[in-house]
A = this chain, B = another copy of it.
Amino acid sequence: MSVDVGQVFAALSDPHRRHLLETLGDHPHGATATTLALPLPVSRQAVDRHLRVLERAGLVSSARRGRETLFAVRPEQLTRSAAWLTDLGKRWDRRLERLKNTAESGGTP
């Protein structure tokens, strides 16, 4: 909770962050920023900042273990955002359905 859908969408708008999320899905135990940055053409700090953005959006969680920080996915926020999207879609469909019925029952003047 307490996280705006806007932050989630902003986090998901970046291709690098989406890639990080996909990769993190393959590491359910969690992965460090250094490990994730290894095959990428960007620096460790950049990946770290991306992970911070994802964390602020509630999409990943960070847990420090010893001298390394493990990041792991957190499905709840993603589910919430998906629900937001489907809700908006449903409202649209309902409006369009009403419009269609109105048109059939007599009136687009």
Contacts and interface: CB of A to CB of B under 8 A. Distances in A.
Nearest to A7: B13
B25 A99 contact: no
Interface residues of A, number: 33
Interface in A59-75: 73, 75
Copies of this chain per assembly: 2
A56 to B, nearest CB: 13
Contacts of A98: 28
B89 A85 contact: no
Given A13-B13, A89-B78, A96 B6 contact: no
Interface string A22-40: 1001101100000000000
